[in-house]
Chain A
Amino acid sequence: MTPLLELTGVSLHFGGLRAIGDLDLCVEEGEIVSLIGPNGAGKTTVFNLITGVYDPEAGDIRLAGRSLVGVPAHKRTRLGVARTFQTLRLFLNMSVEENVMAATFCHTRARVWQSVLRTPFQRREEREVQTLADQKLAFFGDRLAGYRRGQPAYSLSYANRRRLEIARATAANPRLLLLDEPAAGMNPVETHEITELIGRLRTEGGYTILVIEHDMHVVEGISDRVVALDHGVKIAEGSFESVATNPRVVEAYLGLRAAEEEA
């Protein structure tokens, strides 16, 4: 079976710096894969390559067998990729509801003239968008429910903002969800919630998820597989236990001495 996401031999340089070097990565449908590595390893760059911020200099990126290279970013969303951002990028002055509804643009088809004339098709689509937004927000319990829906996004707490970003990404109806450090800045209770949430995203939402995370508890709790990067190169891949104890991974995070002590 073709994997949902497949990177083969992907390379990217920024000037003289190698950001990604000959990377192979596979994500099967329904999997949750974690991408780990020290800061600067190139994890967000991988996301940027997949979503179309950059195009790879070498290699290929395939989504469900179809190559994404050269496809403009906004079209990739329609093909089934949606993401959250390491530094939150919500539409702060728009309401919670609107943030989520905005992401439905790629799969709604009402034309401008249909919007002006308020044709039955357009009105039905708007209702569907509203219902979809309700559903996606309801996924988070009553955190983003009730009166919160109409509040501007800047009024949300940090944890809620992270949740909203995930909700917004799911509203694009993607097959592949890219979560960039979803648990960053969260306290232990919130982190636990996020771990459960990611699991539910797979089971209830049916999304395939690629997660960048630093918090190893989260990684342990959610991953089917873990991929470790360092300086743009894959240094380990496998189950959490095998990667966590892999000496190269330990060295990347903690240095050579720690790796030797581990061994």
Chain B
Amino acid sequence: MINWDQFVQLTVNGLTDGAIYALIALGFSIVYGILKLLNFAQGDVFMIGSFIGFFVLTGFGGPDAPVMPIPVLILLMFVFAMIGAGLLGVVIERFAYRPLRNAPRIAPLISALGVSFFLQNSALLLFGPEIRSYDTFELGSGEYAFPSSGIQWGPLNLSILRMLTIGLAIILCVLLTLLVAKTQIGKAMRATAVDREAATMMGIDTDRVIAFAFFVGSAISGAAGVMFGLLLDNISNTIGFENGLKAFTAAVIGGIGSIPGAMLGGLLVGLAEAYSAGYLPGGVTFQDVWVFSLLVLVLLIRPTGLLGKTDIRKV
């Protein structure tokens, strides 16, 4: 019979990892939606976010001796990481992508590749190759034993941290959807996404709108970085590329440019990883192969992704 405990645990793990992928994919989708650009640097912005969180953590005493209550510390980590990552995203857009707005599609893609590589190696240069640890267990011991405590519901073991992750992802997704659908700037973003030139002629400052979109998308990725650190402890300069790749997959599976699609895609990728690690031969080593196969499958059956819209082109 099926081992339900294992299944439930795998599902939970898959959903939490998937939530992180979903957050990066959200940033990715926003940028793609508005500029039709695959921002390869999105994962590296996520990585920088995790490092910012780390430095805030160690700057305020570190996991062993925090100088302030832990929830406040964590909040600060998020705030700094989101703002820092957001600003980084804006800078990247301004200097690496804006000059290429009217260049053929391949140009900003290669530029994005260059930015990603530049960020990765700058981090290597500045922070060194050592793996840094958030040491969440240490952080959470004492009064706030949050890594291991949490809800115990039958076979379900859901720590506060995991709840936080999934909850944050859902909240950000909802906020983002509302932002795009209901606010003035959201409308401006949608207009710019459909036809940039026409949007400028309608009085929309597309430069600002695009910068805002990058800020929001990168900030969300930065938050994901802190989440990642809290959940998985270890960060290094290579986590950007690896997780970024999964996030691309998630965005594509869900339908690139679609916000709920990014969320759905992220969760699917997370679950696919967890289940393939748990059930399929090869286990953890070959997770990526299975996820990749999933991607190929989705692309063959429904190239625009599960929730994506078809691109109508006039000949």
Contacts and interface: CB of A to CB of B under 8 A. Distances in A.
Contacts of A139: none
Mostly, the A contact residues are mixed
Mostly, the B contact residues are loop
Nearest to A48: B315
A170 to B, nearest CB: 20
Contacts of B315: 44, 48, 53, 85
Interface in B287-315: 312, 315
Nearest to B313: A53
Instruction: Bin chain A's interface residue count.
Output: under 10
Interface in A1-32: 14
A14 B312 CA distance: 10
A190 to B, nearest CB: 25
A48 B312 CA distance: 14
Contacts of A85: 315
Interface in B157-197: none
A98 to B, nearest CB: 19
Interface in A71-111: 85
A44 B314 CA distance: 10
Interface string A234-259: 00000000000000000000000000
Contacts of A53: 315
Nearest to A83: B315
Nearest to A15: B312
B313 to A, nearest CB: 10
B167 to A, nearest CB: 38
A17 to B, nearest CB: 11
B232 to A, nearest CB: 45
Contacts of B312: 14
A147 to B, nearest CB: 28
Interface of B: 312, 315
5 contacts: A14-B312, A44-B315, A48-B315, A53-B315, A85-B315
